[in-house]
Amino acid sequence: MDGRFKLDNQLCFRLYTASRLITQAYHPLLSQYGLTYPQYLVLLVLWEKDSQPVNDIAKRLMLETNTVTPLLKRMEAEGILTRTQGKKDARQMIVKLTKKGRELQDKLTEVPETVGSSVMCQSVTPETVPGLFRMLDDIIEQLKHNNNESNS
Protein backbone atom coordinates (compact mmCIF):
# COMPACT_ATOMS: atom_id res chain seq x y z
CA MET A 1 0.00 0.00 0.00
CA ASP A 2 1.15 3.50 -0.85
CA GLY A 3 2.22 5.24 2.40
CA ARG A 4 0.64 8.49 1.24
CA PHE A 5 -2.76 6.96 1.83
CA LYS A 6 -2.18 5.62 5.34
CA LEU A 7 -4.23 7.41 7.96
CA ASP A 8 -1.26 7.51 10.34
CA ASN A 9 0.74 9.49 7.77
CA GLN A 10 -1.82 12.30 7.50
CA LEU A 11 -1.01 15.55 9.29
CA CYS A 12 -4.60 16.67 8.73
CA PHE A 13 -5.91 13.71 10.74
CA ARG A 14 -3.66 14.50 13.70
CA LEU A 15 -4.65 18.18 13.66
CA TYR A 16 -8.34 17.30 13.32
CA THR A 17 -8.19 14.76 16.15
CA ALA A 18 -6.28 17.12 18.46
CA SER A 19 -8.77 19.91 17.74
CA ARG A 20 -11.76 17.65 18.39
CA LEU A 21 -10.31 16.33 21.65
CA ILE A 22 -9.39 19.79 22.93
CA THR A 23 -12.90 20.99 22.15
CA GLN A 24 -14.21 18.01 24.15
CA ALA A 25 -11.98 19.05 27.07
CA TYR A 26 -13.69 22.45 27.11
CA HIS A 27 -17.20 20.98 27.11
CA PRO A 28 -17.65 20.15 30.83
CA LEU A 29 -16.05 23.44 31.88
CA LEU A 30 -18.26 25.57 29.62
CA SER A 31 -21.52 23.64 29.69
CA GLN A 32 -22.06 24.39 33.37
CA TYR A 33 -22.48 28.03 32.27
CA GLY A 34 -24.59 27.13 29.24
CA LEU A 35 -21.78 27.95 26.81
CA THR A 36 -20.45 26.19 23.76
CA TYR A 37 -16.84 26.30 22.61
CA PRO A 38 -17.61 28.69 19.70
CA GLN A 39 -19.42 31.01 22.14
CA TYR A 40 -16.35 30.91 24.40
CA LEU A 41 -14.18 31.97 21.45
CA VAL A 42 -16.48 34.95 20.82
CA LEU A 43 -16.22 35.87 24.51
CA LEU A 44 -12.41 35.72 24.33
CA VAL A 45 -12.46 38.18 21.43
CA LEU A 46 -14.82 40.54 23.25
CA TRP A 47 -12.94 40.29 26.55
CA GLU A 48 -9.83 41.44 24.68
CA LYS A 49 -11.73 44.38 23.16
CA ASP A 50 -15.40 45.02 23.75
CA SER A 51 -17.76 46.76 21.33
CA GLN A 52 -16.66 45.46 17.94
CA PRO A 53 -18.28 45.12 14.53
CA VAL A 54 -19.44 41.63 13.57
CA ASN A 55 -16.96 41.67 10.66
CA ASP A 56 -14.02 42.24 13.03
CA ILE A 57 -15.09 39.38 15.29
CA ALA A 58 -15.48 37.06 12.31
CA LYS A 59 -12.08 38.07 10.97
CA ARG A 60 -10.42 37.51 14.36
CA LEU A 61 -11.98 34.03 14.56
CA MET A 62 -11.07 33.33 10.92
CA LEU A 63 -14.71 32.62 10.12
CA GLU A 64 -17.24 34.04 7.69
CA THR A 65 -19.78 36.53 9.03
CA ASN A 66 -22.62 34.22 7.99
CA THR A 67 -21.15 31.61 10.38
CA VAL A 68 -20.71 34.07 13.26
CA THR A 69 -24.05 35.90 12.98
CA PRO A 70 -26.30 33.01 14.13
CA LEU A 71 -23.91 32.38 17.02
CA LEU A 72 -24.12 36.04 18.06
CA LYS A 73 -27.92 35.98 17.79
CA ARG A 74 -28.07 33.02 20.19
CA MET A 75 -25.70 34.75 22.60
CA GLU A 76 -27.84 37.89 22.43
CA ALA A 77 -30.98 35.84 23.18
CA GLU A 78 -29.16 34.43 26.22
CA GLY A 79 -28.36 37.95 27.46
CA ILE A 80 -24.58 37.62 27.02
CA LEU A 81 -24.18 40.41 24.47
CA THR A 82 -26.06 43.02 22.51
CA ARG A 83 -26.01 43.79 18.79
CA THR A 84 -26.80 47.32 17.68
CA GLN A 85 -26.56 49.18 14.41
CA GLY A 86 -23.40 51.18 13.90
CA LYS A 87 -23.68 54.96 14.22
CA LYS A 88 -21.55 55.69 11.14
CA ASP A 89 -22.93 52.84 9.02
CA ALA A 90 -26.38 51.42 9.81
CA ARG A 91 -25.49 48.24 7.89
CA GLN A 92 -22.75 47.49 10.40
CA MET A 93 -23.70 45.61 13.58
CA ILE A 94 -21.72 46.43 16.72
CA VAL A 95 -21.42 43.67 19.31
CA LYS A 96 -21.01 44.56 22.96
CA LEU A 97 -20.92 42.47 26.11
CA THR A 98 -23.70 42.79 28.66
CA LYS A 99 -23.07 42.69 32.39
CA LYS A 100 -23.70 38.94 32.24
CA GLY A 101 -21.11 38.57 29.45
CA ARG A 102 -18.50 40.51 31.42
CA GLU A 103 -19.22 38.53 34.60
CA LEU A 104 -18.60 35.26 32.74
CA GLN A 105 -14.92 36.19 32.52
CA ASP A 106 -14.63 35.95 36.31
CA LYS A 107 -16.57 32.68 36.37
CA LEU A 108 -14.37 31.09 33.67
CA THR A 109 -10.96 32.04 35.08
CA GLU A 110 -9.97 28.39 35.57
CA VAL A 111 -10.76 27.32 32.00
CA PRO A 112 -7.53 28.29 30.17
CA GLU A 113 -5.29 26.75 32.82
CA THR A 114 -7.40 23.61 33.20
CA VAL A 115 -7.46 22.89 29.47
CA GLY A 116 -3.84 23.96 29.08
CA SER A 117 -2.69 21.56 31.77
CA SER A 118 -4.71 18.75 30.17
CA VAL A 119 -2.49 18.86 27.07
CA MET A 120 0.81 18.90 28.96
CA CYS A 121 2.80 15.75 28.26
CA GLN A 122 6.36 14.66 27.55
CA SER A 123 6.67 16.73 24.35
CA VAL A 124 4.31 19.58 25.29
CA THR A 125 5.59 21.51 28.29
CA PRO A 126 5.36 25.15 29.34
CA GLU A 127 8.76 25.60 27.69
CA THR A 128 7.75 24.04 24.35
CA VAL A 129 4.34 25.72 24.03
CA PRO A 130 5.68 28.94 22.42
CA GLY A 131 7.41 26.87 19.72
CA LEU A 132 4.25 24.84 19.18
CA PHE A 133 2.26 28.08 18.79
CA ARG A 134 4.79 29.32 16.20
CA MET A 135 4.53 26.06 14.24
CA LEU A 136 0.73 26.13 14.27
CA ASP A 137 0.70 29.84 13.34
CA ASP A 138 3.02 29.05 10.41
CA ILE A 139 0.71 26.25 9.26
CA ILE A 140 -2.33 28.55 9.54
CA GLU A 141 -0.65 31.36 7.60
CA GLN A 142 0.52 28.98 4.88
CA LEU A 143 -2.94 27.47 4.51
CA LYS A 144 -4.56 30.93 4.40
CA HIS A 145 -2.05 31.95 1.71
CA ASN A 146 -2.69 28.78 -0.31
CA ASN A 147 -6.47 29.14 0.02
CA ASN A 148 -6.34 32.80 -1.06
CA GLU A 149 -4.33 31.83 -4.14
CA SER A 150 -6.72 29.05 -5.09
CA ASN A 151 -9.73 31.37 -4.62
CA SER A 152 -8.25 34.03 -6.91
Q: Cβ(92)–Cβ(54) under 8 Å?
A: yes
> With bands split at pLDDT 50, 70 and 90, how would you rate the model's confidence at 42?
very high
pLDDT in tens, 121-147: 999 999 999 999 999 999 999 999 998
pTM across the whole model: 0.92
pLDDT recorded at residue 2: 85
- Interatomic CA distance for residues 101 and 113, integer angstroms: 20
E strand or H helix at 94, and its extent? strand 93-97
End-to-end CA, the chain: 36
Q: What residues pair up with 88 in beta bridges, in sequence order? A: none
pLDDT in tens, 52-72: 999 999 999 999 999 999 999
Q: Cβ(52)–Cβ(83) under 8 Å?
A: no
Mean pLDDT taken over the chain: 95
List, as own/partner pairs, every contact residues 18-25 make where C-beta atoms lie below 8 angstroms and the sequence separation is at least 24, other chains included: 22/115, 22/119, 25/115, 25/118, 25/119
Mean pLDDT of 2-21: 94
